[in-house]
Amino acid sequence: MFKIVESAKNNYIALLVEGLIDEHEFQKIKDLLEKTKNDLGKIKLLVEIKGVRGINAVQLLNDFQDFLLESNLFDKVAIIGWYEYEKEETTTSKEIIAREDIAFFDEKKREKARKWVTST
C-alpha cells in the first residue's frame, strides 16, 4: 500500500510504502504525484519503504527507481529503508546513487531525511 502520511503547502509529500503493493496502486500514486507537480510545481518527496511484500514487490521498487530517474517531477527525494531491499533482489543503479537530488537514509535517520528533503 502507498499512503500519504504528510503533505504541506511547500510542495512536500511524505509517502509510506508498506505491505502488499501492486501495479494498479503504483500507477495511482504516480498519477497523484504528476497532478501535484502540475498544480504546485516540483515536489520534495520523502518515501519510507517498510515491509513491502508480494510477488512483484521487488519489480515495483525497481519501477519506482526508474520513475524517479525518468520523471521531472521532483526537486528532492529522500528514501528511507531502500537498503533492506537492495540486499535482496533490487539493483540500485549507479545513476540514481550519483544524483544530488536523491538521498538514501536508514530507518534510524528518519528526522535527518525529513530535514534534508524539506531544506532549500
12-27 tens-digit pLDDT? 999 998 887 777 888 8
In this prediction, residue 117 has a pLDDT band, given cuts at 50, 70 and 90, of very high
The dihedral region occupied by 113, where left means phi > 0, alpha psi between -120 and 50, and beta the remainder, is alpha
**Considering its fold, how many domains does the chain have in total?**
1
CATH code for the domain of 68: 3.40.1260
pTM for the complete prediction?
Answer: 0.80
- Joined together, the cell numbers standing for residue 115 give 530535514
How far lies 2's CA from each of 46, 65, 97, in Å?
12, 15, 23
Domain that holds residue 14: 2-118
Q: What is the mean pLDDT of residues 92-109?
A: 76
At residue 45's C-alpha, the angle toward residues 42 and 51, to 5°, is 155
Instruction: Tell me the torsion sign for CA atoms 68, 69, 74, 78.
Output: positive
